[in-house]
Structure formats: C-alpha cells, structure tokens
C-alpha cells in the first residue's frame, strides 16, 4: 500500500485572510493556477492591494502526476510544484477566496464589479483573468451517460479503480501519453486511440514504446462509448481502412486537450470562437484595465512555465495601468 | 518509523493549535484480515501526538462490538470524530485518510472542534430544514486532489444537521462496496443508496439532491 501524505495547509487554514467586499482592490486575480499565482506574487511585490479568487486553488497542475519540463525540477509531482508556488505566494499574506466562482463582471467608471456564485460582490481597479481551461469532451454518444461510470477525465484520480482491467486512453498529446504510461502500470491493457498522429514530446513517446501492454491506434476516431451500467467498450472508425470496429474496455480516459474557462467574461471582453480571450504581448485584452494570462488566453502553447511567465507579465501590465490611473 | 515528516508535523501543530475545543478520534480496527488497520492506527497515534486537543480512543470492532454498534461502525479500518462532549455527528472515514484525504481528515477535526468556517446563511437555513434521514457516502481514492473537497462538504452537512450522516469511503480498501455502487470515477457521492453524483459538487448540488428525495 502506498502511503504518501500530501498535506495542503491552505485548504483548511481558517486564518487565511479573507477578501473584503467593501474594499476597492488594485488587482483581483481570478484563477489559482500557475498564471494566477505568479501574477499574485508580482502584484504583491509591487505593493498592489491584491486578492485571488480561485475555484480550484492550484489549478490543473494538481491533476498532473509528474512534471518534467519545469526549469529547475527534473521531475516533480504536479501538486508538489503547486505546493511550492503556493508557499511562495502565501509568504505575502494574500487574501484568497477559494471554491468560489465568478458569475458576472461589470465595468463601470474604470472600476470592475464582480458577482460571485455565493452571492457576494467584490470590486477592483484592475482584473487579471487566469481561469485556465477544463478538459475537452469527445462529444460522442455514451460519453455523458457513462461519465463517472467508466468515462474519466482525471487519470491520477481514477486510474487506481482500473487495476487489472482494460482501458482506453483517447488523445495523442502529452497528457494522453502521460496518462497511458501511468495507467499501464496498473491496468491489464491500455489502448491509446488517437484521431491523427501522436503530438506528444519525443521523450514521452520513446517511453511509451517500451511498454508491452500498450496498443496504439493512430488515425482512429472514437465514435461511441457503449455499455450497460458501466462502460463495456468503444466503437471506433479507422480512416485508412475505412473500417469500424469495437474495442472492449472497462474504461476510457479522455485526454484530448482543453477548452478555456472564459464563459463568465464573454460579454465583456473579446474572445475567439475557440473561447480563448484575445491578448496582446503585454496581456492586454480588449478592455482597458482587464488583463488575462495563461491557458484561458490566445497565448500559444499551454505549458506551466509559459502560464507562470504570462502571469508575471499581466501583473506588471496591471501595475503600469494603475500608475497611469493616479 | 514515523509516517508524518517534520514539515507536515509543524504544519499540523500550527493548524491544530487553532482548535476551539477537544476532539476525540475513535478508531476501529480488527486483528485479522485488515490490511490497512495498523497503518491507520499508527497514523492516528501520530495525529494525537501533534494535536494537543486531540484524544484517541482505540477500539476493536469485534471485541468492542457494543461501541461499534453505538457509533454505527460497520467496517474496518474506520474513524469516527466525536466532539468535546463525546457527541457523534455521523462523521466517518472508512479506510485510511492518507494521501490527499489527510486534508478531509484535518478539515473534519477542525470542524468538529468548533473552529470551522460558516456556510452562507441562506444555505444554512436550507440544511436546517432537512427532516428525513440522509446517508451520504463519498467514494475516494488517495491520489485524487479534488476528493477531499467533496468529503469535507458531506461532513459539513452532517455536522450541521443531526439527520445527516456522511462517510468517506476509500474505494480500493473496500472493492466489494465499490463494485456494488459501480464506482469507476471519484469522488463518487451516493445519497440514500440511490442518488448518484460524480465529481466535487458544490454544496448547493448536494442540497438539491437531498431536497428532491
């Protein structure tokens, strides 16, 4: 049995400072991933009155079993990396509102007014949107019906439930290949099904190819997920052979990329049809005083190091904007 | 060998220092056929060591069957949190709350000690109105970062209303139960045996489901 304690002091510490609704903040940061946390660090160090609003404090990195491309760390569990980020940021005694979602944002006379899911309201001179993204769905029959009944989106959460079973991983990027490698350690057999070609880093693909319980189907599209109470398998279509066939499996992990969490802001700020918030190279959006950073934006390459860098940039831009306001 | 490292100990000491009142951790184990009982007990002993206001009571589910019955404990290893007067709120952990679940254990201890955070008053009223018996099972795995959130919410509901009981269940420790409830994604929340929710749901969603019963 594994016994690994990962204590998250911030998740319950009742002395964490609270956001105050009657205070006019200099900058409110929406999002608690690498972009949000790094912008918080830079904002605090610039002396700005700062607050973080985070639905998922730590962000998507929490769902990553191991990070091997963040400079300075050869290999580190995602949550340890986030833990280090948080520890650094929390040194500055920053108020954090957790498990809380922004429902609506309005701009009025150079000030932003936020309505929160718990009914509270907050206000600020600038905003940094760093809400990241969430797993993209396949949108095939059966996906909704069997969600949580074999259809999974979090490999490190649900992989242990498939011990000795047959599992499909859909996707071909880094996340899909990482998930395949992780799951192959406990599952009987893993089928990696990808619509086109593998887009993962070579280092990961090399590792993948050494695994003998992994079977790879490229140019193959998932058409349907079938089952009774639980998933029994998937129906796929292989383009090259113009052939449809079934792969029997007890579960399918969907790792086909992400969609930006920009919904509450779409009425206010310019977004692309993909949902990404359009930014320039200083993290400016179409609305003065509103900045955006990380996976929720048009910045290319969704990477931890890129998001954290973008967060720093957004905070510096917000600082410059506030200086001009005065 | 100590299970908790120095850094965690220091953090826990700080957190437990904020406990308003005492909390009793009642641990139920059994001698044979319980792979994780010893680790669970050792873990709780260390938690008692770092928490000045934490008291540990050790029980054997067979030898202390009366106590097990009183606290409605059915499986081992299990942990029941009792307040300073020995009151049982129906807050339980089945399986070792290690990995990420240490967070829900600590949140539970803080809540039962009376130092928890208040839920918004509108929701508080809705929780108070629940009159039918409600049983909430939250299936988790120890590697799941968003499971403790779901467990903490279920436990919070149990704390607020005596008609509500809530248990964390570690899916791999109890494979038969996991099979029975078709657990293949966590957190999986089962309310009164038949209403399923998957994922770390907001407390409103728990309430909607309970109110629909």
ipTM of predicted assembly, 2 dp:
0.78
Q: Tell me the chain A residues in contact with residue B188 when contact means C-beta distances shorter than 8 Å.
A: 148
Dist CA A311 CA A53 (whole Å): 14
Q: Tell me the chain A residues in contact with residue B152 when contact means C-beta distances shorter than 8 Å.
A: 12
Per-residue pLDDT tens digits for B29-67:
999 989 999 999 999 999 999 999 999 999 999 999 999
Dist CA A43 CA B32 (whole Å): 56
Catalytic residue list contains A158: yes
Query: DSSP alpha helices (H): ranges in chain B?
Result: 6-16, 37-50, 65-70, 102-112, 121-128, 147-160, 175-180, 203-211
The answer to whether the CB atoms of A1 and B39 lie below 8 A apart is yes
Nearest to B184 among A7, A65, A230 (CB): A230
For chain A, list the domains and their CATH numbers: 9-135+258-325 (3.50.50.60), 151-254 (3.50.50.60)
- CA-to-CA dists, residue B32 to A291, B61, B67, angstroms: 60, 11, 19
> Please, what are the averages of pLDDT over each run of 10 residues along chain A (326 residues)?
47 61 95 97 97 89 85 89 91 86 93 90 97 94 93 90 96 94 96 96 95 97 95 96 96 94 95 95 97 96 94 98 90
> How is chain B split into domains, by residue range?
6-112, 121-211
Distance between alpha carbon A218 and the CA centroid of its chain, in Å?
A: 25
Map A156-187 to HEC letters: HHHHHHHCCCEEEEECCCHHHHHHHHHHHCCC
- Could you tell me which CATH number the domain at B121-211 has? 3.40.30.10
Whether residue B196 contacts residue B188, with contact meaning beta carbons closer than 8 Å, is answered with: yes
CA distance A286 to chain B (A): 32
Chain B residue with CA closest to A65: the answer is B143
CATH of B6-112, picked from 3.40.30.10, 1.10.645.10, 3.40.50.740, 3.30.230.10, is 3.40.30.10
CA distance A198 to chain B (A): 26
Residue B1 pLDDT: 62
Whether residue B15 contacts residue B106, with contact meaning beta carbons closer than 8 Å, is answered with: yes
Dist CA B148 CA A32 (whole Å): 17
Catalytic residue list contains A154: yes
- CA-to-CA dists, residue B209 to A49, A223, B89, angstroms: 40, 32, 21
* Alpha-carbon radius of gyration of chain A: 21
Residue B213 CB coordination number (10 Å) = 12
Query: Touching check for A156 and chain B: CB below 8 Å?
Result: yes
CA dihedral A273→A59→A66→A70, nearest 10 degrees, is 80
Per-residue pLDDT tens digits for B125-174:
999 999 999 999 999 999 898 898 899 999 999 999 999 999 999 999 99
Quote the Cα angle for A135-A141-A144, to 5°. 50
Burial class (CB in 10 A: 0-12, 13-18, 19+), A64: buried
Q: Tell me the chain A residues in contact with residue B115 when contact means C-beta distances shorter than 8 Å.
A: 14
* Domain B121-211 in the same topology as domain B6-112: yes
């Amino acid at each position: 049995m594994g016994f690994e304690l990962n204590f998250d002091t911030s998740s319950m510490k009742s002395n964490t400072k609270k956001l105050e609704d009657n205070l006019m903040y200099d900058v409110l940061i929406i999002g608690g991933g690498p972009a949000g946390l790094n912008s918080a660090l830079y904002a605090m160090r610039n002396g700005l009155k700062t607050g973080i609003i985070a639905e998922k404090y730590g962000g998507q990195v929490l769902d990553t079993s191991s990070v091997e491309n963040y400079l300075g760390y050869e290999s580190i569990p995602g949550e340890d990396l986030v833990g280090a980020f948080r520890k650094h940021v929390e040194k500055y005694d920053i108020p954090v509102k957790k498990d809380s979602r922004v429902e609506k944002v309005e701009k009025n006379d150079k000030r932003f007014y936020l309505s929160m899911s718990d009914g509270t309201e907050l206000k600020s001179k600038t905003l940094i949107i760093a809400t990241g993204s969430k797993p993209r769905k396949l949108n095939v029959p059966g996906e909704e019906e069997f969600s949580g009944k074999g259809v999974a989106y979090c490999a490190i959460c649900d992989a242990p439930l498939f011990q000795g079973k047959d599992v499909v991983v859909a996707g071909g990027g880094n996340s899909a290949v990482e998930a395949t490698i992780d799951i192959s350690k406990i599952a009987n057999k893993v089928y990696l099904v990808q619509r086109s070609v593998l887009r993962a880093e070579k280092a990961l693909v090399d590792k993948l190819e050494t695994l003998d319980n992994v079977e790879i189907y490229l140019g193959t599209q998932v058409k349907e997920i079938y089952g009774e109470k639980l998933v029994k398998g998937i129906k796929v279509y292989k383009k090259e052979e113009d052939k449809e066939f079934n792969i029997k499996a007890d579960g399918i992990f969907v790792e086909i990329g992400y969609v930006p969490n920009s919904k509450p802001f779409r009425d206010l700020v310019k977004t692309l049809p993909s949902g990404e918030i359009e930014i320039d190279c200083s993290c400016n959006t179409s609305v003065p005083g509103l900045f955006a950073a990380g996976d929720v934006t048009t910045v290319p390459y969704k990477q931890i190091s890129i998001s954290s860098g973008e967060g720093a940039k957004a905070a510096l831009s917000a600082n410059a904007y506030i200086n001009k306001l005065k | 060998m100590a299970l908790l490292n120095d850094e965690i100990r220091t953090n826990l000491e700080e957190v437990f220092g904020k406990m308003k009142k005492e909390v009793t951790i009642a641990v139920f184990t059994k001698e044979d056929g319980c792979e994780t009982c010893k680790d669970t007990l050792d873990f709780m002993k260390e938690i008692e060591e770092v928490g000045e206001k934490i008291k540990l009571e050790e029980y054997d589910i067979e030898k202390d069957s009366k106590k097990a019955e009183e606290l409605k404990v059915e499986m081992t290893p299990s942990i029941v949190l009792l307040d300073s007067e020995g009151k049982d709120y129906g807050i339980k952990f089945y399986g070792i709350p290690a990995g990420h679940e240490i967070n829900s254990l600590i949140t539970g201890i803080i809540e039962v000690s009376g130092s928890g955070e208040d839920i918004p008053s509108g929701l508080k009223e809705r929780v108070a109105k629940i009159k039918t018996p409600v049983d909430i099972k939250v299936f988790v795995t120890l590697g799941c970062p968003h499971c403790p959130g779901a467990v903490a919410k279920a436990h919070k509901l149990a704390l607020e209303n005596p008609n509500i009981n809530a248990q964390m269940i570690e899916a791999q420790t109890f494979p038969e139960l996991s099979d029975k409830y078709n657990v293949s994604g966590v957190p999986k929340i089962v309310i009164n045996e038949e209403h399923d929710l998957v994922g770390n749901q907001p407390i409103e969603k728990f309430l909607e489901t309970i109110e629909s019963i």
